[in-house]
Amino acid sequence: MSESATLAPISIDRMWLTKVDFDIDPEPADKMVVKVDIDLRSGHVSRSDDGVMHETIELAVRARLVNEDDEEDVRMSASASMVTEVSTDFPNLSDEAGERYLIRNAVSMSYSHARSCIMAVSAMSPMGGFTLPPILPDEILRSHDDGDAESGQDEKG
């Protein structure tokens, strides 16, 4: 398989980490549950004179480890916020299809970056590295399209 067949026709023009926060309780609960909230904000796709499509998103990821018996008992919280600008010169792409393509990929890349930041910060704590669960970018977009910019996922830990 050639390299061009495996790479997505998208460019990361800029990616900023705008905020990181981490707080941990020194005593873990016997059983904890992972709560993840994702807030997505996107602009509107723009097309430059040369046909390149551009999109900017803001993605905030908030993760919490809570006591399974009491969700108000938060034992760890971490958050990371990203601003990502992406572009593509994918030929014959409508504005609507281009916007979905760009946002879906920007969400995936931004979440991966936020996830890595949270893992690196948590690795310096007594709890060790904390890895956020994978996401489904299309579900984040669907939630965003429905006007509900927050998507929550739970995973037992």
Domains of the chain listed by start with CATH number:
8-146 (3.10.420.10)
Q: What is the rounded distance in angstroms from the CA atom of residue 127 to the CA atom of residue 2? A: 42
In single-letter form, the type of residue at position 15 comes to M
**The pLDDT of residue 129:** 86
pLDDT of residue 109: 96
Return all residues near 84 (Cβ < 8 A) that are at least 6 apart.
12, 14, 15, 16, 56, 57, 59, 106, 109, 110, 113
Q: Percent of the chain having pLDDT more than 90?
A: 65
Nearest 5 degrees, angle CA 41-CA 113-CA 126?
115
Residue 58's pLDDT is 97
One pLDDT digit (tens) per residue for the chain, 157 residues: 556 678 888 999 999 999 999 999 988 889 999 999 999 999 888 999 998 999 999 999 999 999 999 999 999 999 999 999 999 998 788 888 999 999 999 999 999 999 999 999 999 998 888 899 999 988 998 888 877 434 444 444 4
Q: What is residue 4's predicted lDDT score, i.e. its pLDDT?
A: 63
Alpha-carbon gap, residue 66 to 61, rounded angstroms: 16
